[in-house]
Amino acid sequence: MTTAQQLSYDVQLTGTARTPAEREQVFADPGFGQHFTDHMISVDWTEGRGWHDARLMPYGPLTLDPATSVFHYAQELFEGMKAYRQTSGSIVCFRPYANATRFNRSAVRMAMPELPEDAFVESLELLVQTDREWVPRAEGQSLYLRPFMIATQPALGVNYPSRTYKYMVIASPAGAYFAGGVKPVSVWLSRDYTRAAPGGTGFAKCGGNYAAAFVAQRQAVENGCDQVVWLDAFEHRYVEEMGGMNLFFVFGDRLLTPALTGTLLGGITRDSLLTLAADLGLTAEEGRISIEEWRAGCESGELTEVFACGTAAVITPVGSVKGVDGGWTVGDGTPGALTMRLREELMGIQYGTRPDPHDWIHKIC
């Protein structure tokens, strides 16, 4: 854990905040990541000086030199989390310190500066408090928070990492990540491309991982599927994760999720579900599953449900699987009972309709 560093914010409020009617128009159909709130956070870092120039400012474009390092070498990382309006009226975040820890784990891998965890959480609090009217009231909606950091030194050399960085937070009202609500998704097994190999950046939430994934995601769509499933880099057999979600396999009352071997992202939803499943008396294990086992399990009926999980997608059932060798259906292709039960438990904690026995809820205002 990095130590606390108090940042002193210069607060500059916008003179052109959207009206309540304009916000309501956004809330009518927020989609995902398409509309942004009135303000943003910006904090700079300089070698030898540390974090400085913390600002809450009107949301708007940045001006950067074309030689800025991030444009050329993708030295960038981000986080994703949500602020929820609970039934009590409070606005809360879910396990923000877990995101802070992961942010710094990514930063170390990307040779970028760590941000003290308290400063990370404080930046979210400040933005959400300022733009609190942007946290939707409708059931299932939330305010998606996107903290990120970029290398800002204008220099093309690659002999040393950037000596300056900018940390920012932007916020976006969010509806369902997948259009159509809790509808099972179809997935494509990617054999032509791999996302991560040992020693690489698979465990880090850096933009480059996603840039390299688009070609496979497009291939999934071209094959009539919603999402790509990544397999291991050596044999293209063992399941790792999806484009922006981790995977769980349900064998009756036993849950299995691919272990964190360094090549997949340690999701905070995944971690929470391992705990929640145990609370519900289920066996929850981290291990390994091949695509042959996935197919055989579905054919024999032993593997009853498969679901994906992540901040943006919450919990989404996987209904069918397709690859170059053909495809198969998971269960009867409809959302499984256990999948929906875990979804209700998790969302119940997030929206305040269920107790929070693990102290995951962080009240903002």
Would you state the structure tokens that stand for residue 281, as one six-digit string?
């008396």
Helices (H) and strands (E) in the chain, counts: 9, 18
Give Cβ neighbours of residue 62 (< 8 Å, ≥ 6 apart): none
Instruction: List the x/- string, 71-90, binding to ligand COI by CB under 6 A.
Output: ---------x----------
Shortest Cβ 116–ligand COI spacing (Å):
22
Residue placing its CB nearer to ligand PLP in the complex, 23 or 270: 270
- In whole angstroms, the minimum distance from the beta carbon of 283 to ligand COI comes to 26
311 binds ligand COI (CB under 6 A): yes
Which residue's CB atom is positioned nearest to ligand COI?
Answer: 80
Q: State the DSSP H helix or E strand holding residue 335, giving kind and residue range, or none if neither.
A: none
- Rounded CA separation 119/117 (Å): 5
- DSSP line for 23-64: HHHHHHS-TTTS---SEEEEEEEETTTEEEEEEEEE------
Q: In Å, how far from its chain's centre is CA 325?
A: 30
Return the number of the residue (184 or 243) whose C-beta is nearest ligand COI.
243
Separation of alpha carbons 52 and 79, rounded Å: 21
Contact of residue 314 among ligand COI, ligand PLP, none (CB under 5-8 Å per partner type) = none
* CA gap 316, 314 in Å, rounded: 7
- Residue 142 interaction partner, one of ligand PLP, ligand COI, none, beta carbon < 5-8 Å per kind: none
In the bound complex, what is the minimum distance in angstroms from residue 245's beta carbon to ligand PLP?
A: 5
181-240 binders of ligand COI (CB under 6 A): none
Binding residues for ligand PLP, rule: CB under 6 A, are 80, 241, 244-246, 265, 267-270, 310-311
Q: Which of 113, 184, 202, 244 binds ligand COI (CB under 6 A)?
A: 244
User: What's the distance, CA 92 to chain centroid?
Assistant: 17
Q: Which range binds ligand COI by CB under 6 A, 43-51, 64-72, 305-313, 351-359?
A: 305-313
